[in-house]
């Protein structure tokens, strides 16, 4: 009997995973089109991530600096001016960026205040950013799902990989080991306990990878626009709670959200990671510009010394 129950449970899990994959697959064409539109807008507004370094392709001329070897001077270019110039080549070493978008049940939520679910927005942002990065010569991967690649059809490759991934969809990224000097972007609502968030961020930053955390939220999760008798159902199976007068909960709820977010931000700061909040009723372009500007900018931030563990307030579901 126990074996039969186990088999039935596994079959239900498989059917649920297949059903979720089919729903996501039906939305993918729209997400791809939106990602390409956003990526095109961002690409036209960028100055690029190019930089000087070892390579074969010419990048720019710059003034000769006193103390450099005279062999660095480009005498043909210098002959046309009163100054000495050095011919710089473009850095050709590719950079690895890991993109993880939370696909757990809580990300499927969208209120009447926006047309985008948190999941759809997270996927559009990750697809569009991957397109921008690959065009800039970088490699993009998805932890435990897709190895880093510079494939020119990166959006389609990511979409197909995600649709066919029927594995578990936890609320926090898997524990993997990004190489030093690589970068990690995490997109989620991050309503998980702060202690769990602290643990996974510490593990990802252990090897020296730089990171960027984006908390994707529905506007209703911040404004709490509910009135009267409302039943709130936790999307990941933790039950429900009914409010007789939901508006009476608004102030306490918003304080919990603010405290939870402040705790997440503090954890990111401990490791020099950036933290951004993105609401799904705002366009994704501004967010992409901000993330792209932060990636690869400057040297690695020195990790601050750890403070005694804090107890962060958890936001309600």
Gap between the Cα atoms of 140 and 133, Å rounded: 8
Residue 51, pLDDT > 80, answer no
C-beta separation of 271 from 202 below 8 A: yes
Residue 316 is predicted with a pLDDT of 39
With cut-offs at 50, 70 and 90, classify the pLDDT of residue 295.
confident
Of 54-63, 211-220, 233-242, give the range with the top mean pLDDT: 211-220
Each residue's pLDDT tens digit, 54-108: 444 555 677 878 778 888 888 888 888 888 888 776 544 568 999 999 999 999 9
Minimum mean pLDDT among 55-69, 204-218, 250-264, 289-303: which range? Answer: 289-303
Residue 4 is predicted with a pLDDT of 44
Assigned CATH topology for domain 24-48+95-294: Rossmann fold (3.40.50)
Average pLDDT on 275-300 reads 84
If one compares 6 and 246, the residue with the highest pLDDT of the two is: 246
C-beta separation of 261 from 277 below 8 A: yes
Average pLDDT on 148-174 reads 91
% of the chain at pLDDT higher than 70: 77
- Which helix (H) or strand (E) segment is 194 a member of? helix 194-205
Residue 197, pLDDT > 90, answer yes
Residue 307 is predicted with a pLDDT of 39
pTM of the model: 0.74
To the nearest whole number, what is the mean pLDDT of the chain?
Answer: 81
With cut-offs at 50, 70 and 90, classify the pLDDT of residue 2.
very low
Residue 12 is predicted with a pLDDT of 57
Task: Provide the CB-side half-sphere exposure for 5 (13 A, CA).
Answer: 2
Minimum mean pLDDT among 84-93, 111-120, 249-258: which range? Answer: 84-93
Residue 258, pLDDT > 80, answer yes
Residue 87: beta bridge partners?
Answer: 61
| Pairing, β 96-101 against β 58-63 | unpaired
If one compares 125 and 304, the residue with the highest pLDDT of the two is: 125
Q: Where are the beta strands (DSSP E) in 7-68?
A: 58-63
Q: How far is CA 37 from CA 7, 42, 46, 127, 282, in A?
A: 45, 9, 15, 11, 15
CATH 3.40.50 residue spans of the chain: 24-48+95-294
Q: Where are the beta strands (DSSP E) in the chain?
A: 58-63, 85-89, 96-101, 139-142, 146-149, 183-188, 210-217, 230-233, 240-243, 274-279
DSSP label at residue 205: H
- Which helix (H) or strand (E) segment is 72 a member of? none
Residue 47 is predicted with a pLDDT of 47
Minimum mean pLDDT among 146-160, 205-219, 235-249: which range? Answer: 235-249
Residue 6 is predicted with a pLDDT of 44
């Amino acid at each position: 009997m126990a074996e039969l129950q186990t088999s039935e449970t596994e079959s239900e899990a498989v059917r649920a995973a297949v059903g979720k994959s089919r729903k996501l697959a039906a939305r993918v064409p729209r997400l791809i089109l939106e990602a390409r539109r956003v990526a095109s807008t961002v690409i036209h507004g960028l100055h690029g991530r190019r930089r000087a370094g070892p390579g074969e392709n010419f990048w720019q001329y710059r003034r000769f600096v006193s103390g450099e070897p005279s062999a660095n001077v480009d005498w043909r270019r210098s002959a046309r001016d009163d100054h000495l110039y050095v011919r710089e080549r473009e850095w050709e070493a590719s950079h690895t960026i890991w993109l993880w978008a939370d696909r757990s049940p809580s990300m499927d939520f969208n209120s009447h205040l926006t047309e985008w679910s948190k999941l759809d927005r997270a996927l559009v942002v990750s697809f569009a950013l991957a397109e921008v990065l690959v065009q800039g010569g970088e490699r993009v991967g998805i932890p435990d799902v897709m190895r880093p690649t510079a494939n020119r059809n990166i959006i389609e490759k990511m979409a197909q990989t995600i649709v066919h991934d029927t594995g578990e969809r936890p609320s926090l990224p898997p524990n993997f080991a990004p190489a030093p000097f690589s970068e990690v972007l995490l997109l989620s609502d991050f309503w998980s306990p702060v202690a769990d968030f602290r643990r996974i961020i510490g593990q990802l930053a252990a090897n020296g990878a730089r990171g960027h955390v984006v908390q994707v939220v529905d506007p209703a999760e911040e404004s709490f626009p509910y009135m009267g008798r409302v039943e709130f159902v936790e999307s990941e199976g933790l039950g429900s709670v009914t409010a007789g007068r939901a508006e009476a909960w608004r102030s306490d709820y918003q304080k919990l959200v603010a405290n939870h977010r402040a705790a997440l931000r503090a954890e990111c700061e401990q490791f020099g990671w950036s933290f951004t909040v993105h609401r799904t009723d705002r366009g994704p372009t501004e967010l992409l510009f901000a993330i792209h500007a932060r990636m690869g900018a400057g040297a690695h931030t020195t990790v601050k010394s750890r403070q005694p563990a804090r107890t962060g307030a958890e936001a309600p579901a």
